[in-house]
Chains A and B, each alone.
Chain A
Amino acid sequence: MPGNSQGPATTTVDVNGFPCRVWTKGSGPKLGFLAGLGGLPRWLPFLDRLAETRTVIVPSLPGYPGGLGHTELDTHLDWVLAVRQLIDKTGLAGADLAGASVGGAFAAEMAAIFPGHVRRLALIAPFGLFDDKEPAADPWAQRKEVLPGLMCASGEKWTALVAPPEGANSVEWPIEMTRAAEAAARAFWPLGDTGLRKRLGLIASPTLIVWGDRDALLPSSYAQKFATAINGASRVEIIAGAGHLAYLDQPETVARAVLGHFG
């Protein structure tokens, strides 16, 4: 497709005095994306697919690759307000919003707390709920060799996501990857109920819930728990052959589902 061979435009916005990277690509109505665990150390085919018909705007959460300032955020409210600043400063207020994993939990918070900010909502295996009969696996207590298989159905997709690109600083790159994990942990440790359960009922945006059928981190049964708790018209779509970061495993299928929902 035209433009697909080129990377996104990179700008930064300020959140609490720290820069956060914003990637923008494509044309058409705006679509925001909040990434899952690990953030976005690199641009993805999934985002290219979305950019075919939409202006895709991808702000980096504080502490995620391209973003700083997670150390300023102590409470979940601090985090939600940081995301609100990102949404406002990237012109995403009122646009369609997709979020995955931990980014999905924040996307849900946006739609619940600031309903005018989110037109239609797509959640890809979001965190925020906890069922002690089916607890999430702990991504922060894993041996290195186990982690890729927990993040993706095809573990090599995760390995490729976090692999240092040619010419990357060999000291700073692993620190950035650790910082992304720390930022997620700072906001969500120990991946329990964030209180989102109490707020899901406030979501009025039409919501699509996407879940990989091979999510080894957060069982796909959570999809229905979200759908039940959300008041707005919500629909569940299970993606075959996808793990927790379904947009890495099945970029085409997930992008099609998201674009179909946003219309």
Chain B
Amino acid sequence: MDNRRLNHADKRSSPSLTASRVAVISLGIYLVVYVSWQLFHWLPGKQQLGQAFLIPADMAALCSTLLAARRCPGSPRLRSFWLWMSAAMAAEMIADIFLLKYNIQYNNPPFPTIADAFFLSFFVLLFLALLRVPVAPLTQAKRLQIMLDGAIIVLGGGAIVWYFLLGPTAKEGGQSALAMAVSLAYPVGDLILLAGLAVLLLRRSPPTLKVALLLIAAGALTSIVADVVYGYGVLHNTYKSGDPIDIFYVLAFLLFALAGISQEPVQSDDPVALPGDWSQPTPRVSWLPYITAPIGFGLLIGVESGRPFFPDLSLVLILTMIGGLVAARQYMSLRELARAERARRDSERRSRAIFQNAGVGITVSDLKGPTIIDVNQTFSDMVGYTPEELRGGDFAALTHPDELEAYQSLTIDTLDGFQREIRFLRRDGTALWGSLTLSLLRDEPGVPRNVIGVLQDITTRKEAENVKDEFISVVGHELRTPLTSIRGSLGLLEGGVFGELPQEATSMIALAVTNTDRLVRLINDMLDIERMDAGRTELELAPVKASELIANATQIVQIPATQAQVTLTTEILEDPVLYVDGDTIVQVLVNLLGNAIKFSPRWSTVTITVALKTGQALISVTDTGRGIPADRLETIFERFRQVDSSDAREKGGSGLGLAIARNIVEHHGGEMGVESQIGRGSTFHFTLPLADRRVTMLICGHHNGGTGTDSDHVTELQAIAPAIAAGTVLVVEDDPSLGEVLTKTLSHKEITTRLVRNAEDAVEEIRRSQPRVLLLDLMLPGESGFTVIERLRGKGLLSDTHLLVYTALDLNSGDRERLQLGHTEFLSKASITPQDVERRITRLIGKPKETV
């Protein structure tokens, strides 16, 4: 779509458009010159030279159709259409040249001549060209209709032609058989052309050809009119060479020339050049027969009453035939309409049956509200109401109050395809767990009208999940307690606390220790996974250096590494401060390192690298082990999926380690992946967020327009100041004297204070100086402090910040929402001292740099 618009825009300024303009203007001038020659009779006595004017028009049509063919290199069908068109134009031009020759040569030109052969081939070639126009595929009924239409047109037109031309010609007689045949061939050719055009206009043509086909149709009609007038003139001996009726021919060929010019470049038969919708026939009642047929009748009756050429019987016969055909056509149309209506009703009934009997709950609601328009029986059964009770009600009222916020972020754009597991309220007040999918119902032009909600009852599944989670949790903890004692006792025995044991006893204890460890690991991993599944993992995010985490992890795996005779090396290209839960990341590293050590050959090296990658830290663990087959690179992160099932026994892994590791990384907003080459080794890598996010304090208060200074702010800021170390404090305060006092008190050798009076200046100042602390009076007169935050959000400012809102005000949930900006934390002055705030900031951004 965009592409097409782009092409269109390109063409506006392209030289080919200028060329087209010049061509169109030239053709116009040519027509004016010719018409004025005819009107004002320049060169009297050289009337027959008028024929010469036809040749440039033919030439123009020939050139423009050839150029049109060249403009469609990508579409063979269109190209061949234009080539056949140009062949037709060439035939006409040759015919006109011959005719001119005869006109100059003879006072009374012979008939028929070679010129007539070319004139007739023009019809054939044009008809063949029309057959090349790409058209939509047709149904049987549609084809029959078109044939009927064609028959009506040919019969109606034929009747006209017969009574004007053929009848009189036949009656006059006295001509040679050839002349007779040729003069009959002209109107027949016209009729064929007419039928061809009718068929094209009744079917749907590709949009790229629309203008061209209309111009060709106009040209052909003009040419047919000219032929009829010409034929009449010849019959009545009123036609002279260079007669003004040639204007019709000139006009016809200028129209053909315009058609060629109108062809836009087509690079290929792709859907952009030939969009799909043109090929979809829309059911419509064709108007053409109903216009042609009465004209035919009218003319027949008119001609018949004035000049009785023919016996009454044939007139009755033709009238009956036309009448019969029109009736048949009418019947076809009605039948088709009836069938369409029946199909529509069937489809409606089918949809209704599916809607009512679907195993899922379905609701249809409007965009406002959302008010329920319709629900199916399944949905009403799920929530325990009748459909009648639900219709007209508010959809949100059925949702569990705790889940309402799920809808709040929904817009028309995000609504389509919204999928969520959400709780609903049944009539009896119990909760219904449902998997809700929303989609938009659009009308024909694509305007969204309704929201369709599909609800699946997953209450049983949710309950089962809870039972399972609880079971794992309880069993896990129950198993862990005795295992801890077993492991502790074994540890004391193994450590020789009770003296030296016999050789065999030592090896038995070692066996027990290994397997107890394995069991403990399996249970711990299972509990970890269960906690993550249940969404109970709470990360304790804090800034920590990558090198520190790696040092911790390598220390833990040092003993197994030494035992396996594997060297650990660390390449720290950058040592970023990460914003992570250190313990869990150490767990990830220990897991990856443990695997790498297990699968590394002796005397090899396992390398840990840290680098920066697009605003994140990238940590990789590389081994030179046996590698992982390509088809396993993804499945190894699934549960209980080791590369080789014997690994679980040999290497003592639980099969959960990588699943947990990836899960932890993803909880941090990072990604984990692996690259591997068989026999060469593997590299596991993962990304983690950096801690260099900025922290912005928002201290909210309000003064009740009264007197005095807000001394609280001053003491607070002095307490927080050490954490800020250096930076800008922005005071948004409308009271000039209070603002003055605040800024003066806060000024410090490292801290710059700025004072602004209104929301607009505040936003501007924040953009410019990126303050660390924002002192904001929420109750600014006129526009509130909320306005500042809303504008910042609108401009995307401070969206990457960690915003700490420190306030004594009692903020309700709506207020809190309005103050959200990036990651936002609310600290209440009632429970958190400024010293706590300082500690919080220090933890977020690390220790402030010591000024040396």
Report whether chain A binds chain B: no
